A = this chain, B = another copy of it.
Amino acid sequence: MNFGSDNWAGAAPEIIDAIARANEGPAPAYGSDELTARVEARISEIFETDCAVYFVATGGAANGLALSVMTPPYGMILCHEQSHVQMDECAGPEFFTGGAKLLPVAGGAGKLTPQGVADALAGFPHRPPHGAPGSVLSLTQATECGTIYSADEVKALCDFAHGADLKIHMDGARFANAVAASGASPAALSWRAGVDVLCFGGTKNGCLAAEAVIFFDRQMAQDFEFRRKRAGHLWSKMRFIAAQFDAYFADDLWLKLAGGANAMATKLSSGLAATGGVEVSYPSEINQVFACFPEGVAEKLKEGGAAFYPWITPGDPANGKMHRLVTSFKTTPSEVDAFIKAVADAAS
Contact = CB atoms under 8 A, between A and B. Distances in A.
Interface in A191-230: 203-204, 208-209, 223, 225-230
A57 B235 contact: yes
A231 B307 CA distance: 28
- The oligomer's copy count stands at 4
A132 interface: yes
The 9 A-B residue pairs with the shortest CB-CB distance in the complex, in nearest-first order? A61-B232, A123-B314, A60-B232, A7-B236, A94-B99, A129-B229, A98-B98, A10-B23, A90-B230
Contacts of A28: 4, 8
Nearest to A126: B312
Contacts of A62: 232
A232 B235 contact: no
A95 interface: yes
Interface stretch (A67-75, A181-189, A251-259, A282-290): A67-75
Contact of A232 (B24, B56, B124, B316): B56
19 contacts: A4-B26, A7-B29, A8-B28, A8-B29, A10-B27, A11-B23, A30-B130, A64-B231, A74-B90, A90-B129, A91-B230, A94-B230, A95-B230, A98-B99, A122-B312, A123-B312, A128-B225, A129-B225, A231-B232
A299 to B, nearest CB: 19
A312 B25 CA distance: 28
B237 A130 contact: no
A233 interface: yes
Nearest to A224: B129
Q: Which of A10, A133, A233 has the most CB of B within 10 A?
A: A10
B226 A72 contact: yes
Interface of A: 2, 4-5, 7-11, 13, 16, 19-20, 22-30, 56-65, 72-76, 81, 87-92, 94-104, 119-120, 122-125, 128-133, 203-204, 208-209, 223, 225-237, 239-240, 307, 312-316, 319, 330
B226 A133 contact: yes
A94 B229 CA distance: 13
B316 A64 contact: no
Q: Which of A13, A62, A91 has the most CB of B within 10 A?
A: A91
Given A8-B29, A129-B90, A314 B124 contact: yes
Nearest to A82: B123
Contacts of A239: 10
Contact of A208 (B19, B61, B96, B204): B19
B234 A58 contact: yes
Given A8-B28, A209-B237, A230 B125 contact: no
A233 B129 contact: no
Contacts of A319: 122-123
